[in-house]
Amino acid sequence: MKRSAKDTEESARGISRRALVVGVAQLGIIGALGIRMKSMQIEQADHFRLLAEENRINIRLIPPARGLIFDRNGLPIAANEQNYRVVMVREDAGDVGEVLERLTKIVPLDPEELARAMEEMQRRSPFVPVTIADRLTWDDVARVNINAPALPGISAEVGLSRMYPWGADMGHVVGYVGPVSDYDLSRIDDQDPLLQIPKFQIGKTGAENKLEHDLRGSAGTKRIEVNAIGRVMRELDRKEGTSGADVQLTIDARLQTYVQARLEGESAGAVVIDLENGDLRAVASAPTFDPNLFVRGISSKNWRDLNENIYRPLAAKAVQGTYPPGSTFKMVTALAALEDGKVTAEETIRCRGYVEVSGTRFHCWKRAGHGNVNLHESLKQSCDCYYYEIGQRVGIDKIAEMARKLGLGVRHELPLSAVAAGLAPDKAWKAEVRGEDWRIGDTVNASIGQGYVLASPLQLAVMTARIATGREITPRLVRAIDGVEQPSGLGPDQGINENHLRRIRESMSDVINNSRGTAYGSRITDETMRMAGKTGTSQVRRITAEERARGVINNADLPWERRDHALFVSFAPVENPKYAIALIVEHGGGGSAAAAPIARDIMLQALADGEPQLSAYPSNVRGKIEEQQRKIRERIPPGSKGLERA
């Protein structure tokens, strides 16, 4: 059928409209593509060129600055210093051996360090930078940069390395950092990518280890452009990480330095605690070690010297070492008996030099005995037989309960390595651990701090602090984190009868300030600083009946490792206690001779906030003290890190 002219005209107009719409749409699409192509080819050309060049844009982590550690007065005890190093990216180097051979001709490389770096590269992903050498000079770095075209995959960097300005004086407190090891990775559940960076340093011991989460910070990132041979062409952008938190400890660095100097030559541990807030002003162990040796990589000789020393310089004796507390435990037994009503302060008990229990003789240190003694005299003269008797009356469970109330047999949570719990044994403990019944002889031994009883100097300091104040003093090592004050260690009243505590304090005062006291020779003569305390001697060997019959061998005549431990605990001033101290001298002999004089000197240094006046010492020792102070000043020269440092 033939279409009319009108139909043909309308059909043509419809086709024209559709063609126009399609054409406009096509032009729009072509225009959009053109604009996009212009943007990509002109405006974003550099960006896509870099992406196209065989993925030569690398993203690398930027290690954050580790947080600093300060003492209570703001003196740095763990700081950061600039460190120039050379790193290699294996996938960019090509022939690794050839590149390293060229590098050895430019900068000095330790063969052992180089071997470790080669091993590290095999274990790490090929794109991870591995440190080849660090602690280089600026001249070394300049030579590496000049020869960069011949050293593909090699680049020089500047970073931060840990250093400890106070050296060995802070070794056991602050600890040290070291590279992350496979052992570290296996024992910590931490997905932080920083730990995958070769030679990234983390805390290994002490506060560095326990405060790792606060001190580490978080990583930053940087995008770098490298050319076909792996040479870094430029840094495209950078996002800085977050530095670790700064930590302020309660330690007084100047007092800590004095304590370490005073303990020099001994195998010993000492703790000074502030009774106002539980702050640990000094936590010292002797001998000690320089943590800087570990940061830089300790030599085999230095490690052997530390590890084979019979005085065990790596052991933190002040918090890690546990010892029979000896007669320093007698206040625990006395308070347990007083609180339980098994003895009164006025009651006298006869000491004839020994007590016989179940056919076994338990001897007093004074062979002839002390005669009739009450609580006051028993502490002043340290009569053992008095405590044998009251210990049997009150029983081990009550004694152990009082010990724990005073901080013994309890692990105090501190950011230090291997803080010991000690042991306040009772019947249940022996049944569970030893599978045996508790015997009356065990109670007799425990009543004077022997047998199964174990305590660290830290625990004995806490015990003394609680007796001096009647409050639940808790030791505190961290004063502030990033300026935020941490909770005080001054706890609530312990609920111990104040009259009983007063009797104990008066007796401890006479231990030192009465001419018949066991520590009278170590008294403080300045009335405003008078000290109260208790001596202790803990046996490390059994004295047989045969030896007693022919005469007990003097400690001085025994090999060092068989001599008794010497202990002393104290607080001062007597009228308004400010500090408590506990100290042990391993195999030092008697507490009155070996430990008490050191504790007195430390107490005076703390109370005077520096070198005390000679008039605070008994007149017969002032010459010796003057010489001692001179030697300590020589050991710590003014203007470095000495006692005069402000």
Q: Show which residues are catalytic.
A: 327
SS3 245: coil
| 109: CB partners within 8 A, 6+ apart | 100, 103, 132, 133
SS3 640: coil
DSSP secondary structure code for residue 432 in this structure? I
* CA dist., res. 93 & res. 115, Å (int): 17
* CA dist., res. 459 & res. 463, Å (int): 6
* CA dist., res. 506 & res. 573, Å (int): 12
Asked whether the beta carbons of 364 and 351 are under 8 A apart, the reply is yes
Q: Please confirm whether the linkage preceding 492 is cis (ω < 30° from 0).
A: no
The number of beta carbons lying within 10 Å of the beta carbon of residue 299 is 10
* CA dist., res. 464 & res. 511, Å (int): 14
User: In angstroms, what CA-CA distances link 325 with 73, 464, 469, 488?
Assistant: 33, 12, 21, 27
Q: 220-226 and 177-179: which strand pairing?
A: unpaired
Within 380-461, strands assigned E span none
The number of beta carbons lying within 10 Å of the beta carbon of residue 141 is 17
* CA dist., res. 57 & res. 235, Å (int): 9
Fill in the amino acid letter for 85: R
Asked whether the beta carbons of 632 and 610 are under 8 A apart, the reply is no
Asked whether the beta carbons of 251 and 571 are under 8 A apart, the reply is no
* CA dist., res. 408 & res. 149, Å (int): 66
- Which residue's entry shows tokens 């210990």? 391
HEC string of 283-330 equals: EEEECCCCCHHHHCCCCHHHHHHHHCCCCCCCCCCCCCCCECCHHHHH
DSSP string, 60-99: EEEPPPPPPEE-TTS-EEEEEEEEEEEEE-HHHHSSHHHH
| Partners of residue 87 on adjacent β-strands | 131, 155
| Partners of residue 583 on adjacent β-strands | 270, 568
Two tokens, residue 131: 């440190």
DSSP secondary structure code for residue 190 in this structure? -
Number of helices and strands (H, E) in the chain? 24, 21
User: In angstroms, what CA-CA distances link 142 with 40, 85, 113, 146, 223?
Assistant: 39, 11, 21, 6, 23
DSSP secondary structure code for residue 242 in this structure? B
- Which residue's entry shows tokens 């062409």? 233
User: In angstroms, what CA-CA distances link 192 with 68, 183, 410, 489?
Assistant: 20, 16, 33, 33
| 139: CB partners within 8 A, 6+ apart | none
Fill in the amino acid letter for 421: A
* CA dist., res. 541 & res. 538, Å (int): 9
